Amino acid sequence: MVTSHSKKEKYSTEISNGITAILSDATSKDGGKGEQFRPHELLCAALASCLNITARMVLDRKELKYDDVIVKVDLDRSDENKTKFVYHVDIIGDIDEATKNKVIHMLRGCPVKKTLEKEISVEAAE
């Protein structure tokens, strides 16, 4: 369970999973201080981190050596009836492009990606 507590700064909130905490703020593009995520950035962060972890698991399982995996995620909300996450994965290392593309194709199994692709509802708890 994730919990959000109001901070003194206007619209700033501390978000915690009970073990660690981060800050979120909706007031400006850089979160007011440059150290806070905007709420929509947190959605992108969930997908980016899961894609990164999944790619590294695939690379490790295939015993492929890599230096870094960089995932960039953006949220396209230009269509008011559709939410579209756009991502790019860059695998850095001495791996041929065909193999990199196969690994990237395997990211369809990313748990957060699979969750976001399902029909979603948001409901208040009783």
pLDDT, tens digit, for every residue of 10-56? 888 999 999 999 999 887 555 445 678 899 999 999 999 999 999 99
User: What are 119's two structure tokens?
Assistant: 């029909």
Task: For residue 86, give Cα distances in angstroms to 43, 48, 75, 119.
Answer: 12, 10, 6, 18
User: What are 85's two structure tokens?
Assistant: 């996450």
Please tell me whether the overall predicted TM-score, pTM, comes out greater than 0.85 for this model: yes
Question: Has residue 19 been placed in a domain?
Answer: yes
* Calpha distance 76→52 (Å, rounded): 20
- 32 and 94 inside one domain: no
- 97 and 49 inside one domain: yes
Task: Kindly give the pairing relationship between strand 68-76 and strand 12-16.
Answer: unpaired
Question: Has residue 54 been placed in a domain?
Answer: yes
State how many domains the chain has: 2
- 70 and 15 inside one domain: no
- Please give the order of strands across the beta sheet that includes 3-6: 3-6, 12-16, 21-25
